[in-house]
Chain A
Amino acid sequence: MSSLLAQLFPPSTTRNMELSADVLIILTSAAIIYYLTRWHRWKYLWREWLTTVDHKKIGIMYLIAAVTMLFRGGVDALLLRAQLAVPNNHFLGPLHYDEIFTTHGTIMIFFMAMPLIFAMFNIAIPLMIGARDVAFPRLNAISFWLFAFAGFLFNISFVIGGSPNAGWTSYPPLTELAFNPGVGQNYYLMALIVTGIGTTATGINFLVTILRMRAPGMTLMRMPMFAWTTLVTSVLILFAFPPLTVAMVLTLFDRLFGTAFFTIGRGGMPMMYVNLFWLFGHPEVYILVLPSFGIFSEVVATFSRKKLFGYSTMVYSVLAITFLSYGTWVHHFFTMGAGAAVNVFFGLSTILIAIPTGIKIFNWIFTMWNGRIKMTVAMMWALAFIPTFVVGGATGVMLGAVPADYQFHNSYFLIAHFHNVIIGGTVFGLLSGVYYWWPKMTGRLLNERQGKWAFWLFFLGFWVTFMPQYALGFMGMTRRMYTYSHGFGWSSLNLMSTIGAFVMGAGFVVMVYNFVWSQIHGEIDVTGDPWDGRTLEWSTPSPAPEYNFARIPVVTDRDAWWAIKQDHKSNVIQIKPQEIQDIELPKSSAIPFLMGLSFFVFSVGMVFSWWWIAVVGFLGFVVCMLVGTFDYDDHKEVPRQVIQNTESALGRLQG
């Protein structure tokens, strides 16, 4: 019993900070359980959310999860910056610091950015292309629950069993059992394996959805730009995630079953892990940023009241970026010393990517040229993206130059660069998308004044945080140092960076306040088209009914909804009672949730090497697969009377 307790609560989980977290977690869970019980919400939660296969609700769940994880990863970031604020600080110990930067990076990439991207896919894509759901609705729910349970698994590590501490890249030999005993690293491996399965399934799902389910008349070259970037992101996911899963599984085997894939003393090759990780890691960078490029294309065109400049060039540059991004991964480890030929090849391929990306930047600027620009919060995020991403891209080209990279490698210059592109590209883009599609998700508009406060705090905080880090990198400060001495002359820049980080934190708090306030008091979007939009999702009511379109629209042009409005035909959304037909929709199912739960149980068994629990979890998964396979009762008919009543209530019934 005491050995079990020692395994569950090693010393790293009984520091004051972790114990206070325990108290907060228990209090929050108790409050949620009390609320659900007091207001009899359990059944509602199960029926409407936990078992749903509706892409719109899955999108909202992804969004909530992503904002929660942004909070967790953000608190981690503030702890790191608090530690570095002054020299010789002992706010966090070295091991504690390692654990926090590991969870910060892993959560921000896998459990914040990825779900936020999938939130945007789910909320916008089927509506944009005139479909009633994704191609495989139940698989979509399975993807979500695998992600959610993997995220849960990863997040409990710091209070039960101990947090992983080898960095978000987790290179061997630091992750091998000899140097990293305890279960923390197992948490990292299992969480990434499980969420990786979900992500791959999402890639397949949206690839098929876009190729197969577009409304009649919507050729590939008439698709909204966001659909294009979703399509290529899905392809990238399909090729990028398998190497990651392989790297994780091999490390897990090394740790649990005594193999030696990455143990050099027994003939293994740790460098192969680095290679596999970045085979995933580099396409991942484009998986993160391409959806944002798509969002900018929609937002900039809508709020400039112009069609996107150079649509076909945009498509070709996206395809070029996709192709090139497969051939650049070595630039993450030039200093491994693979030789001049290898480094030069990958350095050149890296710098080449700047060309299609530059083309896109110019296209956005020309889209705004002579447009009637409306400064909404969504548009401000898009505008903020351009200078920020240009700086991040330029420092990326600097890092891509091999000789210079030997100086920059693993310094704060690198840290500043990748935060510059991931926050400036991915996060700004996704937040732009959140502000843009929020009315479509919830039926209410976000308060613009609060949104602008959040924007300015976050945007200015970002520059104050990361610009000093470029300089710190030049001054020799390396990544992952937990403290530094006064004599290095880094103190004032570090303090400035910490102040910036707290300003960003304030921006996040205002943003969450904005979300909550607007959900209660926000203006209701009665038209379904608050921005005078260009694409089909704005032809539906806000929020769209369960079946999305009472009648699938027919597309005759790019910017389909804009073309319909220009032709004064916007009354096509009014449907005559005799035209309404029954609609077939996927049925809610408990299987996705139970499958996620099975994976969770299996993972707990693997993390702690409790094999019988792993077997139970695996059997649960097999049962879910069998029941799901032979479940032919997976769809329902929505009778035309119900549709007629819904459309009538929405004021979209003719006559």
Chain B
Amino acid sequence: MFNRGSQRGRRVIAISPNGPTGNGDEVEARFLAPHFESEGFPWLQIFGYIGSLLLTIAALLAVVQHILSPIGLLTVILILAVAQAALQLGIFMHLRESRGSTWHIITLGLGIVIALGLVGMSMWIMTFKSGVS
């Protein structure tokens, strides 16, 4: 599957001790194989769901009721948004259910770079408003 060393070699990673059989049982490399935590009842997920609903409602109410000055409001909803993202990743995106962090770091890193890039550049583009209005 994943050639973790040289990308140029002709090396086939032996997945099962007897080599691939071609019957579909070895299509996933060991370090990528899913590692599920099973529980009797998904309490954590239900709390996570209620938690994300509460965070969303809190953000909406804060804005609709104008509880703070614009800068204060922005800070509050930003904090709520980061908390929400952490909660979603931790509970629903199976961030804790893994045997290795390699892929998490790559994908999260890419996600953060792109998200910050898009948001940051959007803010930069929109600064023109101060010049024209």
Contact = CB atoms under 8 A, between A and B. Distances in A.
Contacts of B12: 216-217, 554, 556
Contacts of A211: 32
Given A327-B117, A327-B121, A216 B20 contact: yes
Given A215-B27, A554-B20, A556-B10, A338 B128 contact: yes
Interface string B112-133: 0010011001101111110110
B65 interface: no
Contacts of B20: 216-217, 554
A219 interface: yes
Given A220-B2, A326-B117, A557 B10 contact: yes
B18 interface: no
Chain B interface extent, by class:
20 to 34
A271 B125 CA distance: 10
B24 A220 contact: no
A326 B121 CA distance: 10
Contacts of B126: 269, 271-272, 275, 338
B88 to A, nearest CB: 14
B91 interface: no
Interface string B77-91: 000000000000000
A339 B128 CA distance: 7
Given A336-B128, A337-B128, A339-B131, A216 B26 contact: yes
A96 interface: no
Nearest to A552: B22
A342 interface: yes
B128 A342 contact: yes
A440 B55 CA distance: 50
B22 A551 contact: yes
Interface in A326-340: 326-327, 330, 336-339
Interface string A186-222: 0000000000000000000000000111111111110
Contacts of B32: 211-212
Contacts of A243: 118
A334 B39 CA distance: 54
Interface in A255-280: 269, 271-272, 275, 279
A589 to B, nearest CB: 22
B63 to A, nearest CB: 11
Contacts of A275: 122, 125-126
B128 A279 contact: no
A132 interface: yes
A536 B22 CA distance: 14
B14 to A, nearest CB: 9
Interface residues of A, number: 37
Interface string A585-604: 00000000000000000000
B2 A219 contact: yes
A583 interface: yes
B97 interface: no
B118 A326 contact: yes
A279 B117 CA distance: 11
A212 B28 contact: yes
Contact of A581 (B7, B23, B121): B23
Contacts of A219: 1-3, 7
Interface in A215-231: 215-221
A583 B27 CA distance: 14
Interface string A545-556: 000000111101
Contact of A342 (B7, B15, B125): B125
A338 B125 contact: yes
A131 B128 contact: no
A327 B32 CA distance: 32
A239 interface: yes
B114 A326 contact: yes
Nearest to B14: A216
Interface string A335-358: 011110010000000000000000
Nearest to A213: B27
A132 B126 CA distance: 48
A269 B122 CA distance: 13
B72 to A, nearest CB: 18
A94 to B, nearest CB: 30
A239 B3 contact: no
Interface in B9-36: 10, 12, 15, 20, 22-24, 26-28, 32
3 shortest A-B CB distances, which residue pairs?
A216-B20, A219-B3, A338-B128
Interface of A: 131-132, 211-221, 239, 243, 269, 271-272, 275, 279, 312, 326-327, 330, 336-339, 342, 551-554, 556-557, 581, 583
Given A326-B117, A327-B121, A338-B125, 8 more contacts: A212-B32, A239-B114, A279-B122, A312-B7, A339-B131, A342-B124, A552-B22, A556-B10
10 contacts: A212-B32, A214-B1, A216-B26, A221-B3, A269-B126, A271-B126, A338-B128, A551-B23, A553-B22, A554-B22
